[in-house]
Amino acid sequence: MTAVTTALHRALAADPDLLVLDEEVAEALHEGRPVVALESSAIPQGPAFPANLDLALDIDAAVRASGSVPARIALLGGKILVGMDKDRLEQFATDTSIPKVSTRGVGLTLAGGGAGGTTVSSSLLAADLAGIPVFAVAGIGGVHRDAPQSFDISADLVQFTRSRTAVVCAGAKSMLHPAWTLEWLETAGIPVVGYRCDDFPAYLSVSTGVRNPHRIDDLREIAAVAATHWQVGNETSLLVTHPISEADGIPTADIEAALADATALAEAAGVTGPAITPYLLKAIAEATEGRTSAANRAVLLSTATLAGEFAVQMSLELAERAGESQ
């Protein structure tokens, strides 16, 4: 069974009353055209309206400009939405009460009929059900720096072991431990490939100082790696990393200094668990005088652009393999 037929099988197996595909997304998937899955949690929980809506629309536009169809994922009314039009985006952008929902909360949210902004992990769950092989996000979750004491490891990493999806990202979020995150990914059998970069990126900074396990400078070659990874029976994701541009990034030293101060404040305030990431990001933004907002916007757009380009190559690779198998 090829990666294409596997994806189609999963999409057909999903409950059509539970998984609602936007007409444009459904048509693109049916025709084998490139689609990029996107999360939605950053819309209600991100910048204030209308900046959050403008950013979401700009990300969608970046995906389209690269030749792919954006498929933003969200939970609403007991359904998993795959693809959101402007009206739906505005609904999420104007309602800050909509919570972030990771994989463990999907069943609870759907059964309750409420709304939920999907995180990386829950978005991957839905993308896999819909048969979308490419997902874009600026920074993934990972192993926290206090993990030996807190056991705090993002649900993103666990979901990577369950979803046949290529994740295009700019590395792990700044407050995480890059070496431990890469070690966890290696243990789980999840390939990490740097696209035209030697170092594992640091989300808002160009480099963590830790090397990517592999570097490939051609997107079609990476697509071939992903397709082969799934063809031999692997059920895990593949990470494609590429950094923020140096002009848009924040120096690592500045981030580390802000993070050290923010971590001390979090400990004193007793902030732990899911609340720690947004707390630290907010503190870093304040310490860097808002530079993180501009950097975050830049890396979201650059990652969306790259994901769109990669999805084009991925669709060509999968179509070619499907043709060969007939």
The set of catalytic residues is 39, 173
Q: Is 86 annotated as a binding residue?
A: no
- 192 three-class SS: strand
Q: Where are the alpha helices (DSSP H) in 94-193?
A: 103-112, 120-130, 147-150, 155-160, 178-187
Which of 173, 121, 127 is CA-nearest to residue 10? Answer: 127
261 is in an annotated binding site: no
22 is in an annotated binding site: no
Is the dihedral angle over the CA atoms 6, 11, 15, 19 positive or is it negative?
positive
Nearest C-alpha neighbor of 199 from the set 252, 247, 160: 252
Q: Is 199 annotated as a binding residue?
A: no
DSSP three-state, residue 69: strand
Gap between the Cα atoms of 241 and 205, Å rounded = 13
The string over 233-254, giving b where at least 16 C-beta atoms fall within 10 Å of a residue's C-beta and e elsewhere, is ebebbbbbbbbbeeebbbebeb
Please tell me whether 248 is known to bind a ligand. no
d(CA 309, CA 313): 7
25 is in an annotated binding site: no
Annotated binding-site residue numbers for substrate:
100, 120, 154-156
**Residue list for the binding site:** 100, 120, 152, 154-156
Q: What residues form the annotated binding site for Mn(2+)? A: 152
